[in-house]
Chains A and B, each alone.
Chain A
Amino acid sequence: GENVEQHPSTLSVQEGDSAVIKCTYSDSASNYFPWYKQELGKRPQLIIDIRSNVGEKKDQRIAVTLNKTAKHFSLHITETQPEDSAVYFCAASNENDMRFGAGTRLTVKP
């Protein structure tokens, strides 16, 4: 089955700096890659996603890149704000299931 690795496990940045979180996946059949943000005590919320026929997608301060050949994808957050502090999860999905990375705890210091 699919195996998703996520790095780093914790990330601390200064407000206004950029944050990058990286994930790798194992199943070449995976074709959909969402990113979720989870605040303490709340459910994971979808923030951005990308399909395998696209190499990059951007939504305001958030962007995701995908390298299918290398089987890795990344989340980029620019101009970070304290409210970006949360745990971020990547996931990889094929037609049958969706597997998550272990998460990255992002702290944005004011």
Chain B
Amino acid sequence: DTGVSQDPRHKITKRGQNVTFRCDPISEHNRLYWYRQTLGQGPEFLTYFQNEAQLEKSRLLSDRFSAERPKGSFSTLEIQRTEQGDSAMYLCASTPLRAFFGQGTRLTVV
């Protein structure tokens, strides 16, 4: 176990609903990344936090997506008005340099 945990592991939601995922990084890691991975593809960068500051956000991240890391510890990723194209594995990684991934949250939008 790398120490990065994500919750939930699986989420099935109806199109149009909002969903929120949580990531608990390794406690001393100040950097936290969110990635999206679809079958057969590499992780796509979504956003990055240094402590509580969101320093970069991918153009892939539409305004339906928002991420927070309020106290510089855990982070949440919210998707509003989900669409079928949002179905993917959402991975969180934390690092001071070497990134360790959580197990991911598999989102299925039906």
Contacts and interface: CB of A to CB of B under 8 A. Distances in A.
B45 A96 contact: no
A67 to B, nearest CB: 21
Interface string A89-105: 10101001111111101
A29 interface: no
A36 B41 CA distance: 13
A96 B42 contact: no
Most buried by A among B45, B55, B56: B45
Contacts of B93: 98
Interface in A14-57: 32, 34, 36, 43-46, 49
A20 to B, nearest CB: 18
A96 B45 CA distance: 12
Contacts of B95: 98
Contacts of A91: 99
Interface stretch (B16-24, B64-72, B80-88, B101-109): B101-109
A80 interface: no
Contacts of A74: none
A100 B56 CA distance: 16
Contacts of A100: 35, 42-45
A100 to B, nearest CB: 4
- Chain B contact patch, size range: 20 to 34
Given A96-B55, A100-B42, A46 B103 contact: no
Contacts of A105: 40
Interface string A75-93: 0000000000000010101
A6 B44 CA distance: 14
B42 A98 contact: no
B56 A89 contact: no
Contacts of A98: 33, 45, 48, 93, 95, 99
Contacts of B100: 46
B98 A44 contact: no
Given A43-B103, A43-B104, A49 B42 contact: no
Interface of B: 2, 33, 35, 40-45, 48, 55-56, 91, 93, 95, 97-104
